[in-house]
Chain A
Amino acid sequence: MKYAFYPGCVSKGACPELYQSVATVYPKLGIELEEMTTASCTGAGVLQEKDERLGDTLNARTFALAERKGLPIMTICSTCQGVMSQANRRLTTDSDYLAEINQVLREEGLQYQGTTRIRHFVWILLEDVGKDELRRYIKKPLTGLRAAPFYGCYLQRPTDALGFDQNPDRSKALEQVIEILGAEVVDFPGKSRCCGFPILTINEPNSLSMVATHTTDAKAHGADIMVTPCPLCHLNLDGMQTKAAQQHKTSIDLPILHLPQLLGLAMGMAPKSLGLSRNLVSPKAAMEKIGIGSNT
C-alpha cells in the first residue's frame, strides 16, 4: 500500500505532534508514504471564499502531481479531505471546466485526467488496511478508556462528495476504529458538529462557546479523552480549551488526541514517540487509567 502523503499545513505548522505521530505509526502498518513536498494548501474553504476557481486549480495541480506518480492521496485532516473531495467532484463532473483548468497546469507540464483517489487516514485504516488486519496490530488494547469521537465537519458533510453512498461505513469510521483499538466509544450529540475553529479570529466568543459545549458535553457523557482526525479541530478543542473554560466559568480538562496518537498507543508505542507531551491539555490522568506512564 503506497500513497502520496498530503500532510496539510497544520501538521507541518501548529500541530507538529500530528506529523510526528503519523511518521511513527505508518511504517508499522505496512503503509508506504511518499510525501508531497511541492503541493500547496487546499485553500481550506477560506481561499475559496475569494475565488473557488483558484482553489480548484491549486487542488487540480495536487491531484495531477499524485496522478503522475500513479498514487492515491492520503490526507490526515478532515478539512483537507473535504475540500479536496469537493474540488475533485467539481473537476470530474464538468469536462469543460477541467479542460480550462488543465490549460493553466499545462505550463508546468501537468494535466489532470480525473483519476486520483483522495482518502483520509481513517478511511485507509478501515478500507485498505482492513478491520481484521488492523486488529492484528493492536498490542495494547485501550481497555477501560472511554473515548469520544469528534469528526470535523468536512469528514461528515456533504456526504455525496465524500462517497458515503458507496462507503456507508465512513459515517461511523471513527467509532469503528475506537472499538478496534479496544476503547469504549462515548457517543454524544456534538461529535459531528463544528469545533468553532473557522471563526476563531472572526467571532472568538462563539468559537469558544463551541469548544466549551462539545468538550463539556463529551465529559458529561463520561469521556476520558476525545479523539479527532482533524488537526484544525484539535487546535481549537485542545489549544483553546483553557480559554473556553474561562469564558464559561468552568473547568473542562478533557485531553484531545489526534487519531494516529490513539492508534499508536494501542499499537504499544510510547506516548513520547507519538508527541503526546506536545498536547496542551495533558492526557496524563487518562493514560494512567489504562496503565500507560506518560514519561515512557
Chain B
Amino acid sequence: METTLRIRRFNPGQEKPAPYYQEYAVELESSDSVLDGLIKVREKLDDSLALRCSCRGAICGSCGMRINGQSALACKTKVVSVAPQGGTIQVEPMNNMPVIKDLVTDMSTFWKKIRQVNPWLQPKGPPPPSEYLAPAEAMKHLSGVMTCIMCGVCVSDCTVLEIDSKFVGPAALAKAYRFVADPRDAFTKQRLTILNYSGGMWDCTRCMACVQVCPKGVAPMDRIMSLRAKGMAVQVPSTSGSRHAEVFTDIIRRKGLLDEPMLAVRTLGLRNLPRLFGMIPLALRSLVRGKVPGSGPLHRPIAGIHHIRRIFRHTRKKRRT
C-alpha cells in the first residue's frame, strides 16, 4: 500500500530554526503501524529524522505523537486505521510540550508535574515486617489507572493545557488518584486538599479528550471526577469548583431542571461582589435581547418533581447503608 508520511520537521541546529513539513512516500503492509512507517523512512530514506521508540508494543510509552491531528502511540496505530486506502498520514510531535527535534519532545515539565502529586505511598505507623499488604479486592479498582505507561498522550491532547500551562494535567491527576484511592495511604485528605486549589482537579473542563486518546484505557478524566467526588466526601475546603457541583445537584433536586442564574449566583457566593457585579452587563444585554427563561424568571419545578426528589432520597439512603 503506497502511503505518504507528511512529517513535521524541526531542526534546532539550523541557522534560523523553524518547523516545516516534509513528505516521504513509503510502501507499507496492511499490518504495519505508523511507527513501522517512520522507522522505514529513517532507515531507508532519511536518517536525519529524529523520533523516540523502543518496545514497539505499547508498553514503554516512548512513541507518543500526533497522527492526523490526534495524539496516539505510533506503535499502536495501524496505518489502515488512519488511511484505509493508503494516501497521506500527517505525523507531528506531541502538543503542550516543547519540541527538541522533529518528533522528539521535551517531557521535563511532564515529569515535574508527576512529581508534584507525590506519586508514592505515604502510609502511617511503624513499617510492617515485609510489604505493605492490601486485600486484592481493595486494590482491584486501581488496576485500570495502574496501567498508565506515562506516554504523555493525554497531556498532548489536553484542552486546558493548551491555554494554561499551570494546570497539573490529566496524567498527574490520574497518578494522584492512584494514591488517593489506595487503602494503605494515610494522607488522602491532605492530597485532596492540595489538589483542591488553582491548577488542580477543578480546572479540568471534562472535555474527554484524555479519555478518548489514552492508549491504555486509564481514562484520566474519570479519575479526576473521582478525585472531585472524594474531595467533596471528605469535605476539603469549599472552592468555586466544589460549590458548583454541590449547588448544581441541589438545584436539580429542587427543580428537576437547571436554573442557570441561580447556579452562577450560589456558586460564586453572595459575598463575591466583584464577580456578581461583573455579571450585570451580560444579564442586562440578555434581558434587552429577550433571552428570558421559557419557564419564567422564577424557574418553576418540572411536573413530577416529587419523583425526582424520591430518587435523590433513595440514592442518599443507599449511600449511607
Q: Do A and B come from one complex?
A: yes
List the interface of chain A (C-beta within 8 A of B). 9-17, 19, 37-41, 43-54, 57-58, 61, 82, 104, 107-108, 153-154, 156-159, 189, 193-194, 196, 198-199, 201-204, 206, 209-210, 213, 235, 239-240, 243, 277-280
Q: Please tell me if the beta carbons of B307 and A61 are within 8 angstroms of each other in the complex.
A: yes
Q: Please tell me if the beta carbons of A16 and B290 are within 8 angstroms of each other in the complex.
A: yes
Residue in B245, B258, B311 whose CB lies within 8 Å of A104: B311
Q: What chain B residues lie within 8 Å of A104 (beta carbons)?
A: 311, 314-315
Interface residues of B in 249-274 (CB under 8 A from A): 249, 252, 256-261, 263-264, 267-268
Chain A's nearest CB lies how many Å from the CB of B51?
A: 23
> Is the C-beta of B202 less than 8 angstroms from some C-beta in chain A?
yes
Q: Please tell me if the beta carbons of B203 and A206 are within 8 angstroms of each other in the complex.
A: yes
Q: Please tell me if the beta carbons of A193 and B286 are within 8 angstroms of each other in the complex.
A: no
Q: Please tell me if the beta carbons of B229 and A17 are within 8 angstroms of each other in the complex.
A: no
Q: Please tell me if the beta carbons of A17 and B307 are within 8 angstroms of each other in the complex.
A: no
Q: Please tell me if the beta carbons of B291 and A193 are within 8 angstroms of each other in the complex.
A: no
Q: A16-B294, A280-B289 are in contact. Are A61 and B258 (CB under 8 A)?
A: no
Chain A's nearest CB lies how many Å from the CB of B247?
A: 9
> Is the C-beta of B16 less than 8 angstroms from some C-beta in chain A?
no
> Is the C-beta of B319 less than 8 angstroms from some C-beta in chain A?
yes
* Chain A residue with Cβ nearest B290: A278
Query: Can you add 17 more A-B contacts, CB < 8 Å, to A45-B206, A206-B164?
Result: A11-B294, A13-B293, A16-B290, A40-B302, A50-B245, A51-B229, A54-B312, A57-B315, A153-B208, A157-B209, A193-B159, A193-B207, A194-B205, A198-B205, A198-B206, A199-B160, A277-B289
Q: A61-B307, A193-B207 are in contact. Are A43 and B315 (CB under 8 A)?
A: no
Chain A's nearest CB lies how many Å from the CB of B232?
A: 6
Q: A45-B206, A58-B308 are in contact. Are A16 and B159 (CB under 8 A)?
A: no
Q: Please tell me if the beta carbons of A9 and B311 are within 8 angstroms of each other in the complex.
A: no
Q: Please tell me if the beta carbons of A50 and B257 are within 8 angstroms of each other in the complex.
A: no
Q: What chain B residues lie within 8 Å of A209 (beta carbons)?
A: 163-164
Chain A's nearest CB lies how many Å from the CB of B106?
A: 22
Q: Please tell me if the beta carbons of A194 and B302 are within 8 angstroms of each other in the complex.
A: no
Q: Please tell me if the beta carbons of A202 and B202 are within 8 angstroms of each other in the complex.
A: yes
Interface membership of chain B positions 222-250, coded 1 if the CB is closer than 8 angstroms to chain A and 0 otherwise = 00010011001000000111001110110
* Chain B residue with Cβ nearest A7: B294
- List 26 A-B pairs, Cβ < 8 Å: A11-B294, A37-B302, A39-B302, A47-B249, A50-B249, A51-B249, A57-B311, A58-B308, A61-B307, A104-B315, A107-B310, A153-B209, A156-B208, A157-B209, A193-B207, A194-B205, A196-B205, A199-B205, A201-B244, A202-B202, A210-B159, A213-B162, A277-B290, A278-B289, A280-B285, A280-B289
Chain B's nearest CB lies how many Å from the CB of A276?
A: 10
Residue in B225, B241, B311 whose CB lies within 8 Å of A58: B311
> Is the C-beta of B133 less than 8 angstroms from some C-beta in chain A?
no
Q: Please tell me if the beta carbons of B240 and A13 are within 8 angstroms of each other in the complex.
A: no
> Is the C-beta of B69 less than 8 angstroms from some C-beta in chain A?
yes
What 10 A-B pairs come out closest when comparing CB atoms? Answer: A9-B258, A157-B208, A38-B304, A194-B207, A194-B159, A209-B163, A153-B207, A157-B212, A13-B293, A54-B315
Q: What chain A residues lie within 8 Å of B308 (beta carbons)?
A: 40, 58
Q: A194-B207, A202-B202, A213-B163 are in contact. Are A14 and B291 (CB under 8 A)?
A: yes
**How many residue-residue contacts, CB under 8 A, span A and B?**
176
> Is the C-beta of B67 less than 8 angstroms from some C-beta in chain A?
no
Interface residues of B in 142-178 (CB under 8 A from A): 159-160, 162-164
Q: Tell me, in angstroms, the Cα distance from A207 to B122 when the chains sit together.
A: 35
* Chain B residue with Cβ nearest A56: B315
Q: Tell me, in angstroms, the Cα distance from A26 to B99 when the chains sit together.
A: 50
> Is the C-beta of B136 less than 8 angstroms from some C-beta in chain A?
no
* Chain B residue with Cβ nearest A48: B225
Q: Please tell me if the beta carbons of A159 and B212 are within 8 angstroms of each other in the complex.
A: yes
Q: Please tell me if the beta carbons of A278 and B291 are within 8 angstroms of each other in the complex.
A: yes
Chain A's nearest CB lies how many Å from the CB of B294?
A: 5
Q: Please tell me if the beta carbons of B314 and A46 are within 8 angstroms of each other in the complex.
A: no
> Is the C-beta of B282 less than 8 angstroms from some C-beta in chain A?
yes
Chain A's nearest CB lies how many Å from the CB of B143?
A: 18
Residue in B162, B209, B286 whose CB lies within 8 Å of A239: B286
Q: Please tell me if the beta carbons of A43 and B252 are within 8 angstroms of each other in the complex.
A: yes
Chain B's nearest CB lies how many Å from the CB of A260?
A: 15
Chain B's nearest CB lies how many Å from the CB of A158?
A: 5
Q: Please tell me if the beta carbons of A38 and B303 are within 8 angstroms of each other in the complex.
A: yes
* Chain A residue with Cβ nearest B265: A201
Residue in B162, B208, B310 whose CB lies within 8 Å of A158: B208
Q: Tell me, in angstroms, the Cα distance from A156 to B299 when the chains sit together.
A: 31
Q: A9-B258, A48-B225 are in contact. Are A201 and B264 (CB under 8 A)?
A: yes
Q: What chain A residues lie within 8 Å of B303 (beta carbons)?
A: 37-38
> Is the C-beta of B14 less than 8 angstroms from some C-beta in chain A?
no
* Chain B residue with Cβ nearest A82: B208
**Residue of A154, A156, A157 with most partner-chain B CB within 10 A:** A157
Q: Please tell me if the beta carbons of B293 and A49 are within 8 angstroms of each other in the complex.
A: no
Q: What chain A residues lie within 8 Å of B282 (beta carbons)?
A: 239-240, 243
Q: Please tell me if the beta carbons of A41 and B162 are within 8 angstroms of each other in the complex.
A: no
> Is the C-beta of B91 less than 8 angstroms from some C-beta in chain A?
no
Q: Tell me, in angstroms, the Cα distance from A57 to B164 when the chains sit together.
A: 35
